[in-house]
């Protein structure tokens, strides 16, 4: 079955020597054989002395885990590789001490453990604290991979009870961590419980597994998800090199199950802060039926300052794409704030005050965003 237009040949990702194709394409094998330390990493790349030092120093602060699939996409010789920079600690991560653990005040917006309510009718429900791998720029560094944020079944029940008792909630985003780290049966149970709540109209899944471990998206998973429609999925590709043949197949399966697919990327220095790279990413996403939805301004978070790009640069990139590609291939450039998302466009930008950019949120509040230097 064709997955996209002729002439588009996403890279195959063959099993490495010594691993059967069956194992390589198995979710369980990938999870069990994840890169967790320097020795494992050296099987895939030649870490620079700085990276080797950073792995030792930083893995304790924020978990260091990479799936073999994603590790195989890294350039073994180039520390500037855009795949490698997303998951291998760098010395800059230790130097970036500015920033908050919880810049969006999610804890303040949490009526019950791991439920975040910023808007009246929507919640983000962090159903677990686990991901297939851990991205060095993660907004939820404070919780992903941390034991205290895991959700026992009893805690999931408490959150479901709160949703059932809150009739304004019509839209539930399952996030984490990553909800697709759950087994099919656990996810099926959770979706069934949510579907029993009459006021929950829409269920969205925020997952990076189509990018970081696409073999998780099996036909069985898609048949299960289909039973709970309307289900929407937002995934998270940041660079065209992530659009491989297995990732395309994962997106095809989800689309064939009638699931609308969107992409939420993060604008990051040296990874995708370039018009041609961003345009290529978005155009390839459209080819595989994934709509570029949001591109986030990276948050000021401890250990992530080196990824941040000035807002002016982001505005230039998205305005340069206008008129040069299909309108629906251009994501909305947004800033997440404790008042919700603010589109970074003329109507919400109020101006500057020193180094800060002032923006107006949906509720009329002004938010002051520290802007990184160029
Ligand atoms: S997959 Fe998402 S939640 Fe998990 S570490 Fe990466 S950015 Fe954070």
- The mean pLDDT of 326-351, rounded to a whole number, is 90
Residue (of 10, 369, 238, 88) closest to 2 by Cα position: 10
Atom in ligand 1 nearest the alpha carbon of residue 145: 5
Cβ–ligand 1 contact at 298 (below 6 Å)? no
| Structure tokens that stand for 77 in this block | 């010789």
Q: Which atom of ligand 1 is nearest to the CA of 137?
A: 7
SS3 14: coil
Check pLDDT > 60 for residue 192.
yes
> Ligand 1 pocket: which of 134, 209, 266, 268 to mutate (most atoms <8 Å of CB)?
134
List all residues 6 or more positions away from 35 whose beta carbon is below 8 Å from its beta carbon. Answer: 41, 43, 44, 64, 65, 66, 67, 68, 71
Collapsing DSSP states into helix, strand and coil, what is residue 366? strand
Q: Are 365 and 339 within 8 A, CB to CB?
A: yes
Predicted local confidence at residue 299, as pLDDT:
86
Interacting residues of 123 by C-beta distance below 8 A, sequence separation 6+:
115, 116, 117, 163, 169, 171, 172, 173
- Evaluate: CB of 339 within 6 angstroms of ligand 1: no
Q: pLDDT (tens digit, 9 = 90+) per residue, 248-257?
A: 999 999 999 9
CATH classification number, 115-335, choose in 3.20.20.140, 3.30.230.10, 3.20.20.70, 3.90.100.10: 3.20.20.70
> Does ligand 1 lie within 6 Å of residue 134's CB atom?
yes
Model pLDDT for residues 145-154, shown as the tens digit of each residue: 777 788 999 9
In this structure, the residue with its CA closest to atom 3 of ligand 1 is 177
Closest CA to 151 of 123, 120, 182: 182
Which residue, judged by its Cα, is nearest atom 5 of ligand 1? Answer: 134
Binding site membership of 144 for ligand 1 (Cβ less than 6 Å): yes
Q: What is the pLDDT of residues 59-113, one digit of tens each?
A: 777 889 999 999 999 999 999 999 999 999 998 887 876 666 666 677 777 899 9
115 touches 162 (CB < 8 A): yes
DSSP secondary structure, 197-210, as one string:
STT--EEEEE--HH
pLDDT on residue 359: 86
Q: Is the CB of 180 under 6 A from ligand 1?
A: no
Rg of the Cα trace of the chain? 20
Question: SS3 helix, strand, coil % of the chain, rounded to 5?
Answer: 35, 20, 50
> Helices (DSSP H) in 227-333: which residue ranges?
245-256, 275-287, 311-321
Rounded average pLDDT over 295-314:
92
Nearest-atom index, ligand 1, CA of 176: 3
Mean pLDDT value across residues 301-327: 93
pTM to 2 decimal places: 0.94
> Is ligand 1 within 6 A of the CB of residue 141?
no
Q: Are 311 and 369 in contact (CB under 8 A)?
A: yes
Q: What is Dmax (Cα atoms) for the chain? A: 59
**What distances in angstroms separate CA 349 from CA 124, 150, 334, 357, one per listed residue?**
26, 37, 11, 8
- Provide the residue ranges of all domains of the chain, joining segments of one domain with +: 21-94, 115-335
285 CA from centroid of ligand 1 (Å): 19
Q: What is the dihedral of CA 26, 44, 53, 374, to 10 degrees?
A: -90
Q: Which atom of ligand 1 is the closest one to the Cα of 177?
A: 3
Residue nearest to atom 7 of ligand 1 (CA): 138
C-beta 293 within 6 A of ligand 1: no
Mean pLDDT across 333-358: 87
String of DSSP letters for 62-95: S---B-HHHHTTS-SS-TT-TTHHHHS--HHHHH
Give the residue, out of 132, 138, 139, 295, with the most ligand 1 atoms within 8 A of its beta carbon, to mutate for a pocket test: 138
Tell me: the pLDDT tens digits for 266-283?
Answer: 999 999 999 999 999 999
């Amino acid at each position: 079955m064709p997955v996209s237009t002729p002439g588009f040949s996403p890279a195959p990702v063959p099993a490495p020597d010594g691993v059967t194709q069956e194992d390589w394409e198995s979710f369980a094998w990938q999870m069990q054989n994840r890169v967790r330390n320097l020795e494992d990493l050296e099987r895939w790349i030649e870490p620079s002395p700085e990276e080797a030092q950073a792995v030792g120093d930083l893995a304790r602060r924020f978990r260091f885990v990479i799936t073999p699939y994603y590790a195989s996409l890294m350039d073994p010789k180039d520390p500037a590789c855009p795949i490698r920079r997303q998951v291998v600690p760098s010395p800059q991560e230790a130097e970036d001490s500015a920033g908050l653990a919880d810049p969006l005040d999610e804890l303040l917006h949490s009526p019950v453990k791991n439920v975040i309510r910023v808007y009246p009718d929507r919640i983000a429900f962090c159903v677990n604290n686990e991901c297939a791998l851990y991205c060095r720029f993660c907004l939820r560094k404070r919780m992903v991979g941390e034991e205290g944020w895991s959700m026992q079944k009893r805690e999931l029940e408490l959150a479901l009870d709160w949703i059932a008792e809150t009739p304004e909630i019509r839209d539930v985003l399952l996030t984490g961590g990553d909800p697709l780290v759950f087994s099919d049966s656990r996810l099926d149970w959770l979706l069934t419980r949510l579907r029993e709540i009459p006021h929950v109209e829409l269920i969205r899944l925020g997952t990076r597994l189509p990018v970081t471990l696409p073999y998780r998206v099996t036909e069985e998973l898609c048949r299960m998800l289909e039973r709970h429609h309307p289900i929407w999925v937002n995934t998270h590709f940041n660079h065209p090199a992530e659009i491989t043949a297995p990732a395309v197949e994962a997106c095809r399966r989800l689309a064939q199950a009638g699931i609308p697919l969107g992409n939420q990327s993060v604008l990051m220095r040296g990874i995708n802060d370039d018009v041609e790279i961003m345009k290529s990413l978005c155009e390839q996403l459209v080819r595989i039926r994934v709509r570029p939805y949001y591109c986030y301004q990276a948050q000021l978070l401890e250990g992530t300052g080196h990824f941040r790009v000035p807002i002016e640069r982001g505005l230039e990139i998205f305005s340069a794409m206008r008129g040069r590609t299909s309108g629906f291939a251009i994501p909305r450039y947004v800033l997440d704030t404790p008042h919700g998302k603010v589109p970074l466009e003329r109507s919400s930008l109020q101006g500057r005050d020193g180094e800060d950019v002032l923006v107006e949120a949906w509720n009329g509040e002004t938010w002051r965003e520290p802007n990184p230097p160029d």
